[in-house]
Amino acid sequence: MNICVLAFVVSEILAPRFRASVSYDEIRSDRSRSFEIQSQLAAQYFRQNTLEYSFKRDSRLFDSGFEGTDYIHRLSHISPLHSYLYLEAAVSLSPSPTFSPQRKYELDPHLTAFNQSDFGLGLNLSQYRNENVLNLKPSWRFEYSETWVFNLKTEVSLHPENTFNVQESVIFSPSTRWEHRLYAGQGKSYEGDQLTPSFYTLSFSSKRTLNAVWSLLGSMSYYDSDLRAEWRFGAQLESRF
């Protein structure tokens, strides 16, 4: 019996399940044109612990002629602590940022209930060159059925300015091969240098599972605020093995 248990533990640790993806987003606004390329690699191992690394290149070209590119590394881990409790933690680093935080720390405990609801209380600290930004991010996820899932997320900026916004999304999965997501958000956000624009945003994405290994996602969104208006178009290719 002990040998069987040991063999199971070793197999879980030494034979993790992987997920890899690459995505491209193009953003066009009334002030700039930019694109983002991001690659991710995640490994799920013993008792659904998940370790993920991502790398993003964010390039922006403004109408004024200014151009900047940020390279962002992010490492995150999901740790199941109990059958109804798990913890997400992440750290991001941008070596020579133009508009991104140099460092970002995220801590997000989650409480699940009845296998339907998920309550989160995220705390984020972003360290820019000239200031630190502290945000609180409560969230709620409700799985009404295998077909319908509802999400509600809020963001409260605690320092240096007090702002509040809310984002809602609905996930519709008519089959095991298709997943559609409709997203809306509104409120105020802190964008640095004492700027707290009011905004609203709408987005739609559709994911097609091609087979047991590959899936493809396409998305589009519109964002409008006191500072800018922009369209975003994106695509992502994902593999599980």
Contact 178, 172 (CB under 8 A): no
Contact 224, 231 (CB under 8 A): no
Confidence (pLDDT) at 15: 72
- In whole angstroms, what is the distance from residue 208 CA to residue 214 CA? 9
Q: Which amino acid is at 146?
A: E
Confidence of residue 45 (pLDDT cuts 50, 70, 90): very high
Q: Which amino acid is at 169?
A: S
Confidence (pLDDT) at 233: 98
The length of the chain, given as a count of residues: 241
**Is residue 14 pLDDT above 70, yes or no?**
no
Confidence (pLDDT) at 61: 87
Higher pLDDT, 123 or 194: 123
Confidence (pLDDT) at 107: 97
- Enter the tokens of residue 86: 């798990």
- In whole angstroms, what is the distance from residue 235 CA to residue 217 CA? 6
- In whole angstroms, what is the distance from residue 151 CA to residue 165 CA? 14
**Is residue 38 pLDDT above 90, yes or no?**
yes
Return all residues near 116 (Cβ < 8 A) that are at least 6 apart.
142, 143, 144
* Tens digits of residue pLDDT in 152-169: 999 999 988 889 999 999
On the question of a cis peptide bond just before residue 80, with omega within 30 degrees of 0, the verdict is no
CA 86 to chain centroid, in Å, comes to: 17
Contact 183, 220 (CB under 8 A): no
State the average pLDDT for the chain: 91
**Is residue 10 pLDDT above 80, yes or no?**
no
- Enter the tokens of residue 223: 């964002």
**Is residue 73 pLDDT above 70, yes or no?**
yes
Contact 209, 177 (CB under 8 A): yes
Confidence (pLDDT) at 18: 96
Q: E strands along 46-83, which residues? A: 49-62, 67-82
CA 22 to chain centroid, in Å, comes to: 14
Q: Which amino acid is at 223?
A: Y
Provide the pairing of β-strand 132-143 with 117-127.
Answer: antiparallel
Higher pLDDT, 100 or 41: 41
Contact 183, 200 (CB under 8 A): no
**Is residue 5 pLDDT above 70, yes or no?**
no
User: What domains are there in the chain, each with its CATH number?
Assistant: 2-240 (2.40.160.40)
Mean pLDDT for the stretch of residues 11-29: 86
**Is residue 189 pLDDT above 80, yes or no?**
yes
- In whole angstroms, what is the distance from residue 127 CA to residue 32 CA? 24
Higher pLDDT, 194 or 55: 55
Confidence (pLDDT) at 31: 81
At 195, give phi and psi (nearest 5°): -95, 125
Mean pLDDT for the stretch of residues 165-180: 95
